[in-house]
A = this chain, B = another copy of it.
Amino acid sequence: MLLSEYPASELMLLHKRLREQYEQLKLSKVSLNLVRGIPSFEQVALSERLDGILNGDYQSLSGIDTRNYGGLDGLIEAKRLFAPMLGVSPDDMLVAGNSSLALMFEYVNFAHFIGVSGPGSAWSLLGRPRFICPAPGYDRHFYICEHLGIEMLPVPMTDAGPDMQKVTELVESDPSIVGIWCVPKYSNPTGVCYSAEVVNQLAELPRLAGNTFRIMWDNAYSMHDLESETQVNSLLAEARRSNTQNAVVAFGSSSKITLPGAAVAFMAASRQNLRAFKQHLQIITIGPDKINQLRHVRFFRDFDGIRRHMAKHAQILRPKFRLVLDKLSSINGLGAGEWSHPKGGYFVSFNTLPGLARTVVKLCAELGVALTPAGATFPYGIDPDDRNIRIAPSFPTLKDLETAMDAFICSVKLATVEQLLSTR
């Protein structure tokens, strides 16, 4: 039965019980964290063998001494290893340093201030360039835009990806739109996988835009299936069919595969884009850490090695996601919110009743359970409906996760009941 249909007396009784439960939980003085979408100790331990794996042999397959300078776009064997993660050919790849975020920042920085195709093509010259930001989305994408002064236009997410009708209308009507952020598989935080139709529409989209328009395709969770493997089409491949490949820049990393912070980041793009970006990169750096790339090559050997490794991650993560969903199922049918049932990625996305996200986050904080600040998943930190809360189940132990979710459920119910009471 929906809480909103409870008779007043029952609702007040429920409120009293929830308050008591809440005060009780407060006494246990926990300090738990559902903020960080980061691997657990158990997960990073899967890659401990990385340090020392070279066993004194620093030579790459192609005969490069990885101990010395050079190799701006990374080892060829690293390109081969990671290319299937982005559904591209090794020739489309550039393998870089430890952070795909840094690579994405540098690409946007380059496109904004320097220009993707020479002087005169910089986005900043447009005065007020704009970016489409499907929301809820990844806060760090939004910070890049905000930091560089690129205006963000939020567009709703559907179950199949961004609302492509809205996206198309915007691009068609506004020539100052220079790009769109996409997390095509297990989107952060919704867990949405872009449908074949959406990928196809995105491949067509650049026809409506200017030459410097870029789709930032952050395929951060391409291997992060919890159950069976989900397939999301390669946008670069689709774009080649539509002759829009120059508008696509794809990114990935091994951050949530091996060791976050000591991982390998990479990008894929058209020849023209790679050439232009490498001209920029060569001003910045002499080259990436090839030794760490070689470690990854030796560790995985090939793409199947990554697959087998990801199965181990899934085994660790599955019980945590199941626990979160089990706990949430206890409020099924109460009308106290709705949530994602992700098949992969790092998050469960929870929507409270409108106007309650901030309240729930605050209630949880008072119980010692840290959640991502409400609004963080929206451009400028503004969730127009104040509904979305991102739950990251990966880092805590199962026991801590259970405690944290009890606090969360209690807070959601309490906030909902108090809202209902106040509006009656």
Chain A contact residues, CB within 8 Å of chain B: 36, 38-39, 41, 44-45, 47-48, 51-56, 58, 65-71, 97-99, 101-102, 105-106, 109, 113-114, 140, 143-144, 147-148, 255, 259-262, 280, 283-292, 295
Contact = CB atoms under 8 A, between A and B. Distances in A.
A145 to B, nearest CB: 10
Given A55-B52, A113-B113, A295-B51, A261 B283 contact: no
A347 to B, nearest CB: 15
B289 A292 contact: yes
Nearest to A287: B261
B56 A291 contact: no
B102 A284 contact: yes
Contact of A284 (B65, B105, B280, B283): B105
A36 B69 contact: yes
Given A51-B54, A52-B55, A54-B52, A147 B280 contact: yes
Contacts of A52: 51-55
Contacts of A67: 44-45, 47-48, 259-262
Contacts of A106: 284
Contact of A44 (B55, B65, B148, B262): B65
Contacts of A101: 284-286
5 contacts: A44-B65, A48-B67, A52-B54, A106-B284, A261-B288
Query: When A and B form their complex, which 9 residue pairs have the shortest distance between CB atoms, in order from nearest?
Result: A52-B52, A44-B67, A262-B291, A69-B260, A102-B285, A147-B283, A105-B284, A51-B54, A99-B285
A109 B39 CA distance: 32
A182 to B, nearest CB: 19
Given A67-B262, A147-B280, 16 more contacts: A36-B69, A39-B68, A44-B65, A45-B67, A47-B67, A48-B58, A51-B56, A52-B52, A52-B54, A67-B261, A69-B255, A98-B289, A99-B284, A260-B286, A261-B286, A262-B289
A200 B53 CA distance: 48
Contacts of A255: 69
Nearest to A56: B48
Given A48-B58, A55-B52, A291 B261 contact: yes
A106 B66 CA distance: 25
Contacts of A39: 68
Contact of A70 (B45, B261, B291): B261
Contact of A38 (B36, B68, B114, B290): B68
B44 A291 contact: no
A260 B41 contact: no
Nearest to A255: B69
A295 to B, nearest CB: 7
Contacts of A68: 38-39, 44, 259-261
A391 to B, nearest CB: 18
Contacts of A55: 52
Contacts of A45: 67
Contacts of A69: 36, 38, 255, 260-261
A178 to B, nearest CB: 16
Contact of A143 (B47, B143, B283): B283
A27 B284 CA distance: 40
B113 A283 contact: no
A106 B283 CA distance: 11
Contacts of A287: 99, 261
Contacts of A286: 99, 101, 140, 260-261
Contact of A259 (B44, B98, B291): B291
A69 B47 CA distance: 14
Contacts of A102: 284-285
Contacts of A58: 48, 51
Nearest to A259: B67
B51 A288 contact: no
A283 B105 contact: yes
